[in-house]
Every structure is written in structure tokens, then in C-alpha cells.
Amino acid sequence: MNKIRTLCAALALMATAAGLSGCAVETPAPPPTNVFVDSAFKPASVNIDPQEALALSPAMQRFAETEMASEIRNKGLRDGLIDALYTRGRLQLDYDAEATRTAAEAFDARRGNCMSLVLMTAAFARHFNMPVRFNSVFLEESWTRSNNIFFVAGHVNISLARPLTVGRSTVFGDPELMTIDFLPPDQVRGHRGRVIDESTILAMFLNNRAAEALTVGKVDDAYWWARAAIKTDSRWLSAYNTLAVLYRRKGLMDRAESTLRLVLEREPLNTQAMSNLILVLSDTGRGKEAEGYANQLAQIQPIPPYKFFDEGLAAMKAGEFAAARQLFRKEVARAAYVPEFHFWLGLANYGMGDVSGARGEIAKALENSATVKDREMYGAKLAWLNEMREHARDQQRQRTPLMRNGAGS
């Protein structure tokens, strides 16, 4: 199978997943769900049904009964399903992190982020009664920012069981699980993971939707998505953090604070909840308490996300391209997956007259782009630089004979 090279994003709005529990440790009760203030938000403008995430559409069912059934007859259940979905020439799926789609939406659009592709794979597997296992993989924490909102991305993948025939029975066993991951093998090899419930993967999906709604200013819709995430799996603390951000946006500071403190009771070193609590405390005039948390946060996270990038932007505005280049290089060194870091490093190179360096960095921005919109934008910038390079070469070729003629006259 040709694996799709993608970044699998399970967005957590200013939040992080709960850590692994050790053996022989009693599992704590889930956080309370009496944290909602429905009256403060307008009804959702869209239907919110967690089960839609894994629902098989009529178009998917037709695909399963035709193209997929043909592959399964030739290659067996699991291998046939995988090849029908991800072999070139079939669906021709494209990675697009701009929105988290349901299984059906990803199938119709022929694109989706890793969460969407995992859901789509699971929906087809369930159609054929194939057991699936959802996995949360622990990778280095990765940050992105959109409309002044920070996001930290997690990683999920899916494992499919291979059927074994024993007499007249079909057995699905753990030793025969095959894991499908949409990251290059070198990025996930050796990383630890844990099995998560279907309720958790659905809560992740719903929280993604909440974060995406907030990004485009749909605060009320975001609330109902986050609420549904908590109702689906109250253990998924990222949704509580999202809820707190929404309460702050609505001016419900007491609710925002109590929700964030609930997260910190569970995860005292949760940097995202701590960051948001600092903002709430500052908003309510408790500067000294906010400073205490800020000092604690500085010990845990001495260099905040985007610090060097923002300083680089300031240097660019001042025309200090050399200083900006150094700052952007620092940000790229710790977060090479963020395309805008490479893009601005390319602009700094261009400002210093290094066109080749600019091309190289914008090519990296294109390579790391996670949305169709970004790929189109960076692709256009790279094409323009390539055109400029060819124009410069043409001018050089035109000048060279003249110089030779002058030397021989």
C-alpha cells in the first residue's frame, strides 16, 4: 500500500490529552459534566450528532459493494479494503487539514485530515464487520496558530484485524492487527501510543469541530460542539479547555475559571489550561495570582510557541532582514512542520537578496502545507520565484555574448 504522507491532526484547542495511566493504579472517576451554561448560547445552526462521524452514506455503500468488493474477492477482506481506499488510481484521496470531515464528507470530497481518514476507514471496516482499534500516538507536541488562537495537534491512527479461518469459524486476533498510519514511518517509528475507545475518537472529532467553529467566529456553534464532546466522553479534557475559552469569549469569567481549574485538578502541569487561566485571572484583575501561574508556566515552558516568529515579524516590519532570518531559523528549528515559518524565512532571505534561499524555504512551506488553500498560495509564490530565476538567467545569457564581443574587438 502506498501510504499517504500526511500530518494527522486531532486538534485540541489550547489543551492536551490526558497522560498514560500506570499499571495497578485505580482509574479516577471522569470529570463532572455539570459545567454547561446553555442559556448563554444561541441554538446551534447545524445538526450535531456524534454518530454521523462514522455513518456510511449511500455513495460509500455503493463503493463498498462494487470497487471494494472486487478488491476483497481478489486480496482478502483486510488487504482488499485497504487497497480499495488507498491505492493510487482508486479514490485518489488528498490530505486537507482545513476542516475535520465526517467519514461520508471525506469520501465525497476525496480529501480530509487524518482524523477524517481514520473515521472513513473505520466506517468501511464496520460495514464488513471487521474489528477496528483506534490509537492515540504520543508525538512531540506540535503547535499551530489561526486568528490568534493557538492549537496543539495530537495524532491518531487505526488498526484493522486480519481474519483467520479456524475450522468453520473466523477469528480476529490482536497478533494479526495491521496499523494504518498517515505519517511517514520515520515520524512514528518508536513512538508510544495507547488504545482509545470509540467514544474518545468521537469526542476528539467533536472538539475539532468546536475549535474550527471558533476559528471562524461561530462561538455559539463551537459551544454545542464542545458540549457534545464532553457528553460523548467526559474523560477528554481538551473539550473542557475549549469550553473555558468559549466562556471567556462570552464574558463568563467565573465559569471559565472553574472549568480550567477542573482541568488543572486532573493535570496540574497542563500548560494550555494554565495559559488560559492566566488570561482569565488577568481579565478579572488578579494580577498577582496570574503572575504566580505565569512563573510556574515559564519553568515548564520557558519559550512559548511562536515567540521567535512574532519577534521575527517585528524585525521584518523594521526592515531588519538579517535579524528576522535568525529568529525565523530558531522557530523552524523547533517546529519545522509549520509552513508559515518556512514562508517567512523565505521572505527574509529574499529581503537579503538570497533568491535561492527564498526558493528553498518556500518549497519547504509548500511541502509542509496541510490545506489545499495553503498549497495553492505557496505554490503560486514558488512559481513566481522560479519565473524570476528564469528571467534572470535569460538576461544573463543575453549579456554573455556582448561581453565576449567587446573583449575581442
Give me 139's grid cell: 508525538
Give the single-character DSSP code of 335. Answer: -
Same fold, 10-20+32-278 and 307-397: yes
- Find out whether 156 and 144 touch, Cβ atoms under 8 Å: no
pLDDT score, position 245:
94
What's the Rg (C-alpha) of the chain? 25
Percent of the chain with pLDDT over 70: 75
Q: What's the mean pLDDT when you consider all of the chain? A: 80
Tell me the pLDDT tens digit for each residue of 188-214.
555 566 788 899 999 999 999 999 999
285-304: b (≥16 Cβ within 10 Å) or e: eeeeebeebbeebeeeeeee
Q: Could you write out the DSSP letters of every residue in 247-259?
A: HHHTT-HHHHHHH
CATH no. of 10-20+32-278: 1.25.40.10
C-alpha–C-alpha distance, residues 175 and 409, integer Å: 82
CB 385 within 8 A of CB 362: yes
The answer to whether 35 and 239 have CB atoms below 8 angstroms apart is: no
Is the pLDDT at 88 greater than 90? The verdict is no
Outline where DSSP puts E strands in 148-235. Answer: 149-160, 163-166, 169-172, 178-180, 193-196
List Cα–Cα distances, 382 to 79, 237, 354, 372, 387, in angstroms: 39, 41, 14, 15, 9
- Alpha helix (H) ranges present in 250-303? 253-266, 271-283, 287-300
Q: Where are the domains of the chain?
A: 10-20+32-278, 307-397
pLDDT tens digits for range 227-256 = 999 999 998 899 999 999 999 999 999 999
pTM of the predicted model as reported, rounded to 2 decimal places = 0.73
Q: Tell me: the pLDDT tens digits for 333-364? A: 877 777 888 999 999 999 999 988 999 999 98
pLDDT tier at 38 (50, 70, 90 boundaries)? very high
Confidence band (pLDDT; 50, 70, 90) for 25?
Answer: very low
Q: How far apart are CA 209 and CA 273, in angstroms?
A: 19
Nearest to 238 by CA among 14, 2, 8, 405: 14
What contacts 191, CB < 8 A, 6 or more positions away? 137, 138, 139
The CATH number of the domain covering residues in 307-397: 1.25.40.10
Handedness of CA 98, 99, 103, 107 (dihedral sign): negative
Local confidence band at 150 (pLDDT 50, 70, 90 cut-offs): low
190-200 exposure pattern, b = at least 16 Cβ within 10 A, e = fewer? eeebeebebbb
pLDDT in tens, 289-332: 999 999 999 998 888 778 898 999 999 999 999 999 999 998 88
Cell of 95: 490530505
